[in-house]
Amino acid sequence: MSDWVQELHSSIHTAEQLENHITLTPEERAGLENIEGTFNWGISPYYASLMDPDDPSCPVRRQVVPRIEEMHDELGVWDPLKEEDHSPVENLIHVYPDRVAFCISSICPTFCRFCLRKRMVETFGNSISEENLQEGYEYIRNTPAIRDVLLTGGDPLLMPDERIEEIVGKIHEIPHVQLVRIGSRSPCTLPSRITDELCERLARYQPFWINTHFNHPKELTPEAVAACGRIVDHGIPMGNQTVLLKGVNDSAAVLKELGERLVAARVRPYYLYQCQVLKGTAHFRVEVERGVQFMRELRGRTSGFAIPQYVLDTPYGKVPLNYQYMRKREGDHVVLETFSGKIWREPNPVCTPCKA
Ligand SMILES: *Cc1c(COP(=O)(O)O)cnc(C)c1O
Is residue 347's pLDDT more than 80?
Answer: yes
Is residue 123's pLDDT more than 70?
Answer: no
Residue 31, domain member (yes or no): no
Say whether both 221 and 340 belong to one domain.
no
Question: In a 10 Å sphere around its CB, with 0-12 CB exposed, 13-18 middle and 19+ buried, how is residue 46 labelled?
Answer: buried
Q: Is 1 helix (H, G, I), strand (E, B) or coil?
A: coil
Give the chain's mean pLDDT. Answer: 95
35-78: pLDDT as tens digits: 887 788 999 999 999 999 999 999 999 999 999 999 999 999 98
For residue 169, how far is its CA from the centre of ligand 1 (angstroms)? Answer: 21
The distance from CA 97 to its chain's CA centroid, rounded to whole angstroms, is 22
Residue 331, domain member (yes or no): yes
Question: In a 10 Å sphere around its CB, with 0-12 CB exposed, 13-18 middle and 19+ buried, how is residue 128 labelled?
Answer: buried
Say whether both 138 and 212 belong to one domain.
yes
Instruction: pLDDT band for 23, please (50, 70, 90 cuts).
Output: very high
Residue 115, domain member (yes or no): yes
Buried b (16+ CB within 10 A) or exposed e, 146-164: bebbbbbbbbbbbbeeebb
Say whether both 224 and 281 belong to one domain.
yes
Question: In a 10 Å sphere around its CB, with 0-12 CB exposed, 13-18 middle and 19+ buried, how is residue 316 labelled?
Answer: exposed
What CATH number is given to the structural domain containing 147? 3.20.20.70
Lowest mean pLDDT among 78-87, 283-292, 324-333: 78-87
Say whether both 174 and 297 belong to one domain.
yes
Determine contact, residues 320/278, Cβ cutoff 8 Å.
no
Q: Which numbered atom of ligand 1 lies nearest the CA of 271? A: 9
Is residue 295's pLDDT more than 80?
Answer: yes
Residue 26, domain member (yes or no): no
Q: Give the Cα separation of 56 and 23 in Å (integer).
A: 8
Instruction: pLDDT band for 356, please (50, 70, 90 cuts).
Output: low
Determine contact, residues 122/112, Cβ cutoff 8 Å.
no
Q: Going by CA atoms, what residue is nearest to atom 14 of ligand 1?
A: 101
Q: Give the Cα separation of 356 and 12 in Å (integer).
A: 69
Q: Per-residue DSSP letters for 211-247? A: EE---SGGG--HHHHHHHHHHHHTT--EEEEEEE-TT
Is residue 124's pLDDT more than 60?
Answer: no
The distance from CA 293 to its chain's CA centroid, rounded to whole angstroms, is 21
Q: For the chain, what is the domain count?
A: 2
Instruction: pLDDT band for 351, please (50, 70, 90 cuts).
Output: confident
Q: What is the pLDDT of residue 42?
A: 94
Residue 33, domain member (yes or no): no
Q: What is the pLDDT of residue 39?
A: 83
Say whether both 265 and 280 belong to one domain.
yes
Q: Is 277 helix (H, G, I), strand (E, B) or coil?
A: coil
Q: What is the pLDDT of residue 49?
A: 97
Q: Give the Cα separation of 196 and 210 in Å (integer).
A: 15
Q: Going by CA atoms, what residue is nearest to atom 2 of ligand 1?
A: 101
Q: Give the Cα separation of 47 and 60 in Å (integer).
A: 8
CB neighbourhood size of 297 (10 A)? 17
Is residue 125's pLDDT more than 60?
Answer: no
Instruction: pLDDT band for 355, please (50, 70, 90 cuts).
Output: low
Residue 275, domain member (yes or no): yes
Say whether both 146 and 114 belong to one domain.
yes
Say whether both 117 and 239 belong to one domain.
yes
The residue to mutate among 93, 270, 272, 318, having the most atoms of ligand 1 within 8 angstroms of its beta carbon, is 318
Say whether both 339 and 256 belong to one domain.
no
Please report, in angstroms and rounded to a whole number, the separation of the first and last CA atoms in the chain.
Answer: 73
189-215: pLDDT as tens digits: 999 999 999 999 999 999 999 999 999
Indicate whether residue 93 lines ligand 1 (CB < 6 A): yes
Q: What is the pLDDT of residue 122?
A: 63
Say whether both 330 and 222 belong to one domain.
no
Say whether both 144 and 286 belong to one domain.
yes
Indicate whether residue 95 lines ligand 1 (CB < 6 A): yes
Partners of 320 in beta bridges: 311
105-122: pLDDT as tens digits: 988 999 999 999 888 776
For residue 149, how far is its CA from the centre of ligand 1 (angstroms)? Answer: 9
For residue 136, how far is its CA from the centre of ligand 1 (angstroms)? Answer: 17
Is residue 243's pLDDT more than 80?
Answer: yes
Residue 283, domain member (yes or no): yes
Pairing of strands 238-244, 92-96: unpaired
Q: Give the Cα separation of 12 and 43 in Å (integer).
A: 5
Residue 301, domain member (yes or no): yes
Domain that holds residue 346: 326-355
Q: Going by CA atoms, what residue is nearest to atom 1 of ligand 1?
A: 318
Instruction: pLDDT band for 94, please (50, 70, 90 cuts).
Output: very high
Say whether both 216 and 334 belong to one domain.
no
Indicate whether residue 314 lines ligand 1 (CB < 6 A): no
Say whether both 278 and 336 belong to one domain.
no
Q: Going by CA atoms, what residue is nearest to atom 12 of ligand 1?
A: 101
Q: Is 191 helix (H, G, I), strand (E, B) or coil?
A: helix
